[in-house]
Chains A and B, each alone.
Chain A
Amino acid sequence: MRHARSALRHCLFAGLTAKSSPVDAGRRQARTQRRMPQRQALIAKVLGLVAAIGMTALSLVPGSASALPLFARQTGQNCVACHAGGQFPELTPYGRMFKLTGYTIGERTAIPLAAMAVITNSRVADTSKSDDAGADFQKNGKTVLATASVFLGGKITDNLGAFAQITHDPYAVQNADGSFGAHSGADNIELRYADRFVGPQRDLIFGLSLNNNPSMSDPWNTAPAWMQYVPVPSPTSSRFIDGAAPYPGYAAGGNLAGITAYAFWNRTIYAELGAYGTSRGALRFMSAGIPNEEVTKLRGLNPYWRLAWTREWGAHNLMIGTSGMTARIYDDPADTSDTATLHRTRDLTFDAQYQYLLDPHTVTVQFVHQRSRHRFPASLANQPVAFVDGAGNPLPETSEADSARVTRAKFTYVYSARYGGSLGLFDLTGSTNTANQSSGFSPDSLTVTSDPLAAAPSTRVAGNFSGSPATRGLTLEAFWIPVQYVRVGAQYTAYSRFNGASQNYDGFGRNARDNNSLFLYLWAAY
């Protein structure tokens, strides 16, 4: 139960902050060691299904395969047609129309597959304030194959298209001897139906999206599922890079099963309404690669909504929007027998995006502000905590609910779809909750410890001494796209606050700036 609780807390916290984190890696590691044979069988089945779908699509219409990724092969266009300045995944106005019309523009491809791989090297500012640097910074300064994905999808019929990503994490499992094992599983998956009624005087796109990740269906890059610095490597290999810093996200996380209906009217108003539930039964493939007892379990259907206004003028376009989701999530994915164990979450997002696209210039400004509330089940609320304050007095009991606010802003310039740079700012604030503390004063010795009940290894690097999640910083990036399927980049992420403090955030003397990280990557797709 303790493991399940911490896993869920992490899952929810991850929804509020990073898409993945070192804690997540540890969690995957533990479960993967236990479930490897089952997982391999499941993956084999998923890959079989994927291959079957691929063969079906392949057999329908013959086509010509060329050395280009999936959608580019389908339309015959370059990446810049759909991706602003060639930077994946941010879409141009045309790219948004391509997506909203169900990935159906173009010609069905003979082999509806593409692949992506990322080689990275990251280095954190300080590795000395750790009890076990080898474990805390496992791949620090080492060049690694950080992640790889296979994409399947594209046009299926005049109205039906798909986008499915299977992601491979080479550092998902750490074995007893310290070596790593890989893991592959479902990432973003979407099946989309769309129709468009268009003429000189009107334009209405209507569609349905069956997908596994709230806001994955969204065509703007400020949607929580898409606002990210790409690539995002395995967290094990790059612990404090931007990809592991706070981002807006829906608390229920991914690997769900949901359906949304959307309409885009006169390229001005976009509205979407849907509901998400547990990925199970015929929709179990949406969480492929995760053992059933660890798949997020939602109670019933949980609403998701999105409303956006957009306008294009000249080379400019602007979007202002809002979106949100409420969810009821079982505390223990293996036990859905008692509704008293439900976490109740609510996320409300406000976002805006401006683009200026005129060859050879691409300018993008993005802004997102998300407010989240998380009410804990009774068994987790109002609980005493084992830590005490510096004088030995009891700390406040755990909270009934947490609130958090994440703000992200990013400015990007790309020249000639070849040279680019960006500045991103992030700020997470939230309520202080003693349940968040992973280090504190021991009631016995009044010294700082990460586990007041047992002599567990220190968690000083990931530790939280304040109970506050507040994290703030910035990321600078420069990248070069020598050819459209290769990107070389350098990111520097600097923290002014981490886990609630700028100084001594873990109680063991580690400061926020000690986590500053340099991240170099080589991204390639085929």
Chain B
Amino acid sequence: MKNTSLLLAVLGAALLAGCANPTRSRDLANAGVTAETLAQQVCSNCHGANGNSVSPNFPNLAGQTKPYLAAQLRGFKERTRRDPAAVAYMWGLARSLTDAQIESLAAYYAALPARVQPAAAAVASVDAGREIYAHGVSGSTAPACASCHGADGQGTEAAPRIAGQHATYVARQLVIYRDTDERPDGAPMKAACGALGAQDIRDVAAFVQSRGDL
């Protein structure tokens, strides 16, 4: 047993000494790991190796605006964004990111080409969504989506890109904005989508996803 313990200790020490690997690290508490490495080794598991996620549970990040991405990562780290998915998936992963890593991650994803995504809803729904997107909900004074997110959802300095985003994800966020205060960074959205009904949300989300070729 004594020899066994000794052998294990030596083996363990050798492995520990030889395994520092910052270029392919998944260590979220190491400020020395680059944003590109973190994006590929960790973020890609849900958001895709090219920033486009397979599952609509997780948003596409490729081509997203840098200010929005950085603000979300800060929101996760500081726990100000507190919708259920943010708490379950992102709070922990972002808890030790440095400001430099956050800025670099935002820049990394902003520079990736956005995916072309086909519409996944009926034409009538997409058309209804286009109308809401461009002109707002009839009878409401809330601004139209296009006024902040751009004519085709490409995003601006003030508002994120939503073109080509998964409809399921967009719809979920609209409900969170409309019904809760879990995303305080999106205060303007609370007023903007207050008049949206369930079908309106489905329609506008379907239209937004169909704008993937921009």
Query: Which residues of A does B touch, CB under 8 Å?
Result: 45, 49, 52-53, 56, 60-61, 63, 72, 75-78, 80-81, 93-94, 97-98, 101, 104-108, 155-160, 193, 195-201, 203, 281-282, 284-285, 312-315, 357-359
Contact = CB atoms under 8 A, between A and B. Distances in A.
A98 B41 CA distance: 10
Contacts of B28: 75, 105-107
A11 B56 CA distance: 45
Nearest to B13: A56
B15 A313 contact: no
Contacts of A281: 4
A63 B41 contact: no
Given A49-B5, A78-B87, A158-B22, A106 B92 contact: yes
Interface stretch (B44-52, B121-129, B157-165): B44-52
B16 interface: yes
A158 B32 CA distance: 13
B82 to A, nearest CB: 13
B93 A77 contact: yes
Contact of B55 (A93, A157, A200): A93
Given A75-B92, A76-B91, A97 B56 contact: no
B85 A359 contact: yes
Contacts of A63: 29
A201 B112 CA distance: 13
A314 B55 contact: yes
Given A198-B41, A314-B54, A203 B49 contact: yes
Interface-central residue, A45, A195, A282, A285, by most chain B CB under 10 Å: A282
Contact of B57 (A97, A108, A357): A357
Contacts of B25: 158
Chain A to chain B: the 8 pairs with minimum beta-carbon distance, closest first: A76-B92, A157-B19, A107-B29, A78-B88, A158-B21, A200-B50, A105-B26, A97-B45
21 contacts: A45-B1, A56-B12, A75-B92, A75-B93, A76-B92, A77-B91, A77-B92, A94-B46, A106-B29, A156-B16, A157-B19, A157-B20, A158-B19, A196-B24, A198-B40, A199-B40, A282-B7, A284-B4, A358-B55, A358-B57, A359-B85
A76 B16 contact: no
Given A198-B44, A358-B168, A159 B19 contact: yes
A282 B9 CA distance: 11
B178 interface: no
Interface residues of B, number: 45
B95 interface: yes
Contacts of B195: none
Contacts of B7: 282
B89 A81 contact: yes
Given A76-B91, A198-B49, A358-B56, A106 B26 contact: yes
Nearest to A76: B92
A44 B164 CA distance: 59
Nearest to A194: B26
B19 A197 contact: no
Nearest to A60: B16
A315 B169 CA distance: 12
B27 interface: yes
A357 B45 CA distance: 15
A410 B53 CA distance: 28
A199 B36 CA distance: 9
A108 B19 CA distance: 14
A284 B46 CA distance: 38
Given A49-B8, A106-B92, A158-B27, A199 B49 contact: yes
B93 A76 contact: yes
Interface string B112-125: 10000000000000
Nearest to B17: A157
B49 A101 contact: no
Q: Main SS of the interface on chain A? A: mixed
Given A75-B92, A76-B92, A76-B93, A158 B26 contact: yes
B140 interface: no
A197 B24 contact: yes
A75 B45 CA distance: 13
A375 to B, nearest CB: 34
Given A77-B88, A198-B41, A314 B56 contact: yes
Given A104-B26, A107-B27, A195-B24, 8 more contacts: A49-B5, A93-B55, A157-B21, A282-B7, A285-B4, A285-B8, A312-B54, A359-B85
A359 B22 CA distance: 34
A94 B20 CA distance: 23
Interface string B78-96: 0000001101110111011
Given A101-B41, A282-B7, A61 B49 contact: no
Contacts of B29: 61, 63, 106-108
Contacts of B20: 157-158
A157 B89 contact: no
Given A94-B45, A97-B45, A315 B26 contact: no
A200 B168 CA distance: 24
Contacts of A198: 40-41, 44, 49
A93 to B, nearest CB: 7
A104 B16 CA distance: 13
Interface in B55-112: 55-57, 84-85, 87-89, 91-93, 95-96, 112
B134 interface: no
A93 B57 CA distance: 12
A43 B197 CA distance: 63
Contacts of A98: 45
Nearest to A316: B55
Nearest to B54: A312
Contacts of B142: none
Contacts of A107: 27-29, 95-96
A287 B89 CA distance: 36
Contacts of B41: 101, 105, 196, 198
A159 B8 CA distance: 18
Contacts of A157: 15-16, 19-21
Contacts of B146: none
B157 to A, nearest CB: 26
Contacts of B16: 56, 60, 156-157, 160
Nearest to A94: B45
A67 to B, nearest CB: 13
Contacts of B89: 77-78, 81
Contacts of B5: 49, 52
A34 to B, nearest CB: 21
